[in-house]
Amino acid sequence: MGDEDRHRQRGLTLLECLVVVAIVALLAAISVPTLRDQLAAARARAAANQLYSMVQTARSQALLSGEEMMLCPSRQMNTEPSSCEGHFGEVIALMTSTEYPARQHKVWLPIEGVTVRNRAGTEVVSGPLQWDQHGFGNRNVSLSVCSGGHNWSVVINRLGRPRLAKQWGVCP
């Protein structure tokens, strides 16, 4: 083997490098939409679990303390706690509903990239959700959580008990 043959056997050619780069680019182009879809599904599930946890916490707190409790949607964290002028896709505070001024117990921040609407997907759900000292709720409501076409709903019955349901609502 001469010096010239040994020199040619080292390294990759430009064509081989271009083929490898093209394969990597093709694999990335295929995987990015799938990754985005998986992130949207995880975001919708996480937001629904957070809402479910809020409802369970409010109901449990009402039963344990013997006080009426409410989940109050608000536009900002620093607003007057008794105003409840927001919807369930924004900041939500757990507070007593019998004291004035209402006492905040816990605050949850919204998850980015998620919308919360009614079951039909036509409007946001506003107004407080309340539980009395026996754990009974003040209304039936479905909180439909959407992200990237993925839907989970928190369905709350008149007894104040929540449940999670997949594809229960409509995403706009």
- Residue 171 located in a structural domain: no
| Domain encompassing residue 117 | 13-166
SS3 (DSSP) at 164: strand
- Residue 76 located in a structural domain: yes
What is the Cα 33 distance to its own chain's centre? 20
The tally of domains found in the chain comes to 1
Regions of the chain short of the pLDDT cut 70: 1-9, 77-82, 99
- Residue 61 located in a structural domain: yes
Task: Give the pLDDT of residue 136.
Answer: 95
b/e code 117-138 from CB counts within 10 Å (16+ = b): bbbeeeeebebbbbbbeebbbb
Task: Give the pLDDT of residue 156.
Answer: 96
- Residue 24 located in a structural domain: yes
Give the full edge-to-edge strand order of the sheet including 69-74. Answer: 104-108, 91-96, 69-74, 129-131
- Taking only the tens place, the pLDDT of each residue in 48-71 is 999 999 999 999 999 999 999 999
E-strand stretches of the chain:
69-74, 91-96, 104-108, 115-117, 129-131, 141-147, 150-156, 162-166
- Residue 129 located in a structural domain: yes
Return the CATH number at 76: 3.55.40.10
- Residue 21 located in a structural domain: yes
- Residue 8 located in a structural domain: no
Task: Give the pLDDT of residue 94.
Answer: 92
- Residue 7 located in a structural domain: no
